[in-house]
């Protein structure tokens, strides 16, 4: 049998050429272009020429992702100004999308935030029909921690369902419901009120599967009629009107970071 060729030395997946770990942020050339350095193509040429540094290391690979609010980016030794970290609570109405881009031109959650010039994105998603609290930020690290299953930050929902789920059904939700991608478990569920043909439930989840609440309730025979997220960790929707937004207070941010395993100020 022919001898196997030795595998070539490879860089770790999270460390591209130039020595800077990949971040869950924006492409470096896009950040430079947004700062007014030049066109996207011109910024790419600056990177490949070795004129751009991230955290004092020269970056030459196109596509390197950075978080401009947390990393120091230099062009020819001159630092780009850092963006100030911000986080807003938004009460998403139904019919508004939580994606950053929508080819259909539908209204977006980020359009509800009056933060001129800031590159904002939603932390997690609510589907088109769902309502309630969604956080909008430019803090990529905080967003990652709030959405990653490892940190298990609880999200609380108020859900109107068809029918009157009994205690056996509620216990089954706590034990877990089998979905295509695995077992989905509701950490807490309780009845808030009952009507003749419907029930209001309060549910707490620590996962973030696509349309998870709708799917698990459908599996136990109760269609979701309305779904409103009322809290993300310690941050609550409160009396924020539909379509309204407010900037999180310092105390709320500290509590949110503690819930996500971070205590430093932003």
How big is the chain by its Cα radius of gyration, in Å?
A: 22
How many angstroms separate the CA atoms of 229 and 100, rounded?
20
Regarding whether 242 and 228 lie in a shared domain, the answer is no
Asked if the model's pLDDT at residue 61 lies above 50, the reply is yes
Residue 202 is part of a domain; what is its CATH number?
3.30.2350.10
Point out the domain boundary residue: 40, 61, 79. 79
Regarding whether 97 and 119 lie in a shared domain, the answer is yes
Residue 109 is part of a domain; what is its CATH number?
3.30.70.580
Residues 6+ apart with CB under 8 A from 185: 173, 174, 175, 176, 177, 207
Give the position of tokens 């770790």: 12
Regarding whether 45 and 142 lie in a shared domain, the answer is no
DSSP state of 168: H
Q: Which of 41-50, 127-136, 237-246 has the least mean pLDDT?
A: 41-50
Task: Please list the active-site residues.
Answer: 127
Give the position of tokens 């921690």: 145
Average per-residue pLDDT for the chain: 86
Regarding whether 242 and 136 lie in a shared domain, the answer is yes
Tens of pLDDT, residues 87-100: 999 999 999 999 88
- Is residue 13 a part of any domain in this protein? no
Regarding whether 137 and 94 lie in a shared domain, the answer is yes
- Is residue 246 a part of any domain in this protein? yes
Report the domain count for the chain: 3
- Is residue 16 a part of any domain in this protein? no
Regarding whether 97 and 109 lie in a shared domain, the answer is yes
Let me know: does 242 contact 91? Beta carbons within 8 Å.
yes
Q: What H or E segment, with its residue span, contains residue 54?
A: strand 52-54
- Is residue 55 a part of any domain in this protein? yes
Residue 59 is part of a domain; what is its CATH number?
3.10.290.10
Regarding whether 200 and 183 lie in a shared domain, the answer is yes
The pLDDT > 90 percentage for the chain reads 59
Regarding whether 37 and 102 lie in a shared domain, the answer is no
Residue 51 phi/psi, 5-degree rounding, is -95, 0
Please give the residue range of the domain that contains residue 122: 87-149+235-259
Regarding whether 170 and 221 lie in a shared domain, the answer is yes
Regarding whether 194 and 95 lie in a shared domain, the answer is no
Regarding whether 222 and 123 lie in a shared domain, the answer is no
How many angstroms separate the CA atoms of 83 and 158, rounded?
35
The per-residue pLDDT for 117 is 55
Write down the pTM of the prediction. 0.74
Q: What H or E segment, with its residue span, contains residue 131?
A: strand 131-137
- Is residue 249 a part of any domain in this protein? yes
- Is residue 121 a part of any domain in this protein? yes
Asked if the model's pLDDT at residue 125 lies above 50, the reply is yes
Counting DSSP H helices and E strands in the chain, the numbers are: 6, 17
Residues 6+ apart with CB under 8 A from 202: 156, 157, 158, 159, 188, 189, 190, 192, 230
pLDDT-based confidence at 36, cuts 50/70/90? low
- Is residue 15 a part of any domain in this protein? no
Regarding whether 172 and 63 lie in a shared domain, the answer is no
- Is residue 214 a part of any domain in this protein? yes
Of 143, 229, 160, 230, nearest to 197 by C-alpha is 160
């Amino acid at each position: 049998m022919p001898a196997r060729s030795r595998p070539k030395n490879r860089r770790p997946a999270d460390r591209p050429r130039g020595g800077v770990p990949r971040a869950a942020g924006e492409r470096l050339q896009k950040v430079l272009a947004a700062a007014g350095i030049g066109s996207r193509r011109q910024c790419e040429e600056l990177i490949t020429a070795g004129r751009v540094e991230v955290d004092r290391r020269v970056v030459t690979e196109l596509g390197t992702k950075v978080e401009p609010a947390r990393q120091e980016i230099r062009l020819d030794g001159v630092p780009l100004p850092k963006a100030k970290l911000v986080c807003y609570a938004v009460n998403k109405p139904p019919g508004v999308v939580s994606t950053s881009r929508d080819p259909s031109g539908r209204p977006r959650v980020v359009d509800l935030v009056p933060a001129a010039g800031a590159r904002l994105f939603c932390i997690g998603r609510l589907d088109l029909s769902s309502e309630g609290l969604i956080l909008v930020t430019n803090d990529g690290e905080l967003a990652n921690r709030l959405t990653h299953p490892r940190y298990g930050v609880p999200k609380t929902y108020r859900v109107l369902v068809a029918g009157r789920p009994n205690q056996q059904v509620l216990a089954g939700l706590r034990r877990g419901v089998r979905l295509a991608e695995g077992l989905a478990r509701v950490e807490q569920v309780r009845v808030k009120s009952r009507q003749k043909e419907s029930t209001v439930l309060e549910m707490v989840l620590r996962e973030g599967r696509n349309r998870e609440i709708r799917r698990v309730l459908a599996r136990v025979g109760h269609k979701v009629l309305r779904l409103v997220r009322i809290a993300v960790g310690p941050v609550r929707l409160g009396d924020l009107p539909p379509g309204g937004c407010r900037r999180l207070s310092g105390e709320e941010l500290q509590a949110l970071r503690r819930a996500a395993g971070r205590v430093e100020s932003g």
